């Protein structure tokens, strides 16, 4: 078992330079991966529903798939199921998107997969149901090549026995241990898929840990909490290479199943998902296809299933790749949506903000997929027959005419408040999940650091891409910061609940800060050891010039480590402090009645630009175009009375 403890903070972006050159022996397998990626890309682009804007996203999704293979076919299998493949990934950064995966991932569900169980071993899965969890499913599956099949899931409220304090234990193995309440027979499976379905992001999700407890196969010596050996890195890449084509063949099949084959601007009926791949019997889904011209909006009318533990809708590109969902409202769950009084929920898909509730931002693509899911539906409430889902294309500036009278209008200040709450809530859920990552955040950063050093930065980026990030300075601006006036008001309104929330979340906040410090310490120790070995090796051979070169390289790396420890948007100590700030503020808002429903004018001004800026990779050049400022009320952002009114309202 890896001695990795729960860890959290934020992920990798630019890793320190290496003292040693890349391992040239890895180049053939790297070239094979890149060649397979090219073949997969050609396969996607040949699909009849391919579009230029979705094709532009393909490379990042193929790289995300490679990252999945690295963690699943690689590290999880080599550790016999004791490394979780987690989406959003443990190394995802706060206030930033996670990697763009195929297979209709959603920010409402945290996925964990353990792959490569030893058929003779017994495993113990322990966990605690989170306050924000609306549904949970532990599904035994068999993964192979271009297929994944499962069944017999243990679900929250149906098959999974949970203790009164929210904890649970599940044994996985060939024989049921004496006294085991929850058991999964591993005789005919090789993996476990965990879905943690969040209905309340700002309350955090569930925690999980899996350990082998008997008849355990040894974990290779080259996998440790502090790094990976060269031999292990070679094995990992040689496991990724043959998986690229079959796994992407599965991705192509699932793209067709996620709604793109529906007639444009229609949705399938809402019906049971059972019998499909790794689907759950307690789920009901509807999938659809939007294809809109500028100035058009698609209204989607979906029947409500009030008793479902969790529900959510999301937009994807034509390949069922999740659109960036942190800084753009490309998904909504039940607690984020307005539910109309007529028994239906009305969503509006459009590229521009229509100024009404339940807007889904399609700005990244003109054509794509819509996926609606209800999860953890009680048996008595599951639809006995398919329920029709209605759609209508209307002018975006006339949307309100086609919606029920009780549909709220949403002002720019209200939209900005929703988006800031979205970011802070997402950060809180992500930080909690990252704390419970297996292995932890520091270990995964060190592993990726070793892999990048062995491959070389250019090769690493070509194969696995880069972790998405948001410029850290933006997290000091009103749009991506807690509203301190509103926070002060919440604290003064209920100081007891506020202090209790801070006390309950203090450990999380400290881990936010301590983990980047631990990463910096570990990297500096590696740097010192590598520099010392390189200098001593050069001196022992009498090569003073090489010794000086090694010393200079070590000093250069030392400077890079210190710079990243302060300024990297995802891994720095400053980012950890910001994570702690946001988590404590979110906990206070949650404990005292929720986040503000109106943002200050400066935040509203920022949110007029942020979604498009994030899609452009934060190309701020577009802001120099005067037309991009047309129609914005700049005077309101400078009016101090608006800020004072928020404090005393």
At residue 617, the pLDDT reads 84
At residue 643, the pLDDT reads 54
Please answer whether residues 97 and 324 qualify as being in contact, where contact means their C-beta atoms are separated by less than 8 angstroms.
yes
At residue 619, the pLDDT reads 82
Residue recorded with tokens 């007891």:
496
pTM for this predicted structure? 0.91
- Averaged pLDDT, groups of 10, the chain, 649 residues long: 36 38 87 97 96 96 97 94 92 93 94 92 97 94 66 88 97 94 90 95 96 94 95 97 95 89 96 68 93 97 95 96 95 97 98 97 94 93 94 97 97 97 98 92 96 95 96 96 95 96 98 97 93 89 88 90 95 97 98 94 92 86 63 60 57
At residue 77, the pLDDT reads 93
Tell me whether strands 271-272 and 296-303 are parallel, antiparallel or unpaired. Answer: unpaired
Domain boundaries, the chain: 24-257, 258-413, 416-648
Q: Which of 266, 396, 373 is nearest to 314 (CA)?
A: 373
Please answer whether residues 598 and 417 qualify as being in contact, where contact means their C-beta atoms are separated by less than 8 angstroms.
yes
Please answer whether residues 471 and 38 qualify as being in contact, where contact means their C-beta atoms are separated by less than 8 angstroms.
no
Q: From start to end of 151-252, where are the E strands? A: 154-156, 159-160, 167-173, 182-185, 191-198, 207-214, 223-224, 227-228
At residue 638, the pLDDT reads 56
Q: What whole-number distance in Å separates Cα of residue 476 and Cα of residue 95?
A: 11
At residue 633, the pLDDT reads 62
At residue 618, the pLDDT reads 84
Kind and range of the H or E run holding 394: strand 390-395
φ, ψ of residue 182 to 5 degrees: the values are -110, 130
Please answer whether residues 452 and 16 qualify as being in contact, where contact means their C-beta atoms are separated by less than 8 angstroms.
no
Q: Which of 51, 22, 91 is nearest to 439 (CA)?
A: 91
Q: What whole-number distance in Å separates Cα of residue 357 and Cα of residue 355?
A: 7
Written out in words, the top-level CATH class of the domain with range 258-413 is mainly beta
């Amino acid at each position: 078992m890896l001695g990795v403890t729960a860890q959290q903070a934020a992920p990798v972006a630019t890793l320190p330079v290496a003292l040693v050159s890349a391992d040239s022996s890895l180049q053939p397998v790297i070239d094979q991966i890149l060649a397979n990626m090219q073949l997969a890309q050609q396969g996607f682009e040949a699909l009849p529903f391919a579009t230029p804007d979705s094709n532009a996203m393909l490379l990042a999704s193929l790289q995300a798939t490679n990252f999945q293979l690295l963690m699943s076919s690689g590290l999880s299998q080599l550790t016999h199921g004791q490394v979780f493949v987690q989406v959003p990934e443990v190394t995802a950064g706060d206030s930033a998107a996670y990697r763009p995966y195929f297979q209709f991932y959603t920010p409402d569900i945290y996925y964990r997969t353990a792959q490569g169980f030893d058929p003779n071993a017994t495993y113990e899965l322990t966990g605690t149901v989170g306050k924000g969890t609306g549904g949970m499913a532990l599904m035994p599956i068999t993964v192979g090549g271009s297929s994944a099949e499962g069944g017999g899931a243990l679900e929250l409220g149906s098959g999974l026995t949970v203790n009164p304090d929210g904890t649970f234990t599940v044994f996985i193995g060939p024989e049921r241990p004496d006294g085991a309440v929850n058991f999964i027979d591993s005789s005919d499976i090789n993996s476990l898929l965990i879905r943690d379905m969040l209905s309340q992001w700002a309350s955090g999700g569930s925690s999980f840990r899996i350990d082998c407890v008997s008849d355990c196969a040894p974990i290779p010596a080259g996998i440790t909490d502090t790094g990976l050996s060269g031999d292990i890195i070679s094995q990992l890449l040689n496991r990724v290479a043959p998986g690229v084509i079959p796994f992407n063949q599965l991705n192509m099949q699932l793209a067709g199943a996620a709604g793109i084959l529906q007639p444009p601007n229609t949705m399938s009926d809402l019906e049971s998902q059972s019998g499909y791949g790794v689907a759950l019997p307690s789920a009901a889904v509807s999938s659809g296809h939007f294809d809109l011209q500028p100035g058009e909006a698609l209204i989607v009318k979906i029947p409500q299933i009030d008793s479902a533990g969790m529900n959510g809708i999301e937009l994807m590109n034509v390949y069922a790749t999740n659109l960036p969902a942190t800084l753009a409202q490309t998904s909504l769950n039940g607690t984020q949506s307005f539910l109309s009084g007529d028994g239906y929920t009305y969503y509006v898909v459009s590229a521009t903000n229509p100024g009404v509730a339940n807007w889904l931002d399609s700005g990244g693509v003109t054509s794509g997929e819509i996926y609606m899911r209800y999860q953890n539906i009680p048996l008595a409430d599951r639809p006995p027959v398919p329920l029709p889902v209605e759609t209508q294309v209307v002018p975006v500036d006339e949307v309100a005419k086609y919606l029920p009278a009780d549909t709220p209008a949403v002002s720019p200040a209200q939209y900005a408040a929703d988006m800031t709450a979205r970011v802070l809530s997402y950060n809180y859920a992500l930080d909690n999940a990252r704390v419970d990552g297996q292995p932890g955040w520091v270990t995964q950063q060190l592993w990726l650091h070793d892999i990048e050093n062995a491959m070389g930065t250019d090769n690493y980026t070509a194969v696995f891409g880069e972790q998405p990030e948001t410029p850290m300075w933006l997290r000091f601006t009103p749009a991506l910061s807690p509203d301190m006036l509103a926070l002060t008001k919440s604290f003064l309104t209920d100081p007891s609940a506020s202090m209790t929330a801070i006390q309950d979340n203090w450990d999380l906040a400290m881990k936010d800060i301590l983990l980047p410090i631990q990463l910096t310490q570990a990297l500096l120790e590696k740097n010192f050891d590598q520099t010392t070995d390189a200098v001593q090796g050069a001196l022992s051979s009498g090569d003073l010039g090489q010794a000086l070169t090694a010393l200079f390289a070590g000093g250069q790396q030392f400077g890079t480590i210190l710079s990243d420890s302060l300024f990297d948007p995802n891994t720095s100590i400053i980012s950890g402090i910001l994570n702690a700030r946001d988590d404590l503020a979110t906990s206070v808002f949650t404990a005292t009645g929720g986040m503000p429903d109106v943002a200050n004018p400066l935040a509203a001004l920022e949110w007029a630009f942020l979604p498009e800026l994030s899609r452009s990779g934060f190309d701020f050049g577009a802001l120099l175009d005067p037309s991009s400022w047309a129609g914005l009320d700049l005077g309101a952002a400078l009016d101090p009375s608006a800020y004072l009114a928020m404090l005393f309202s």
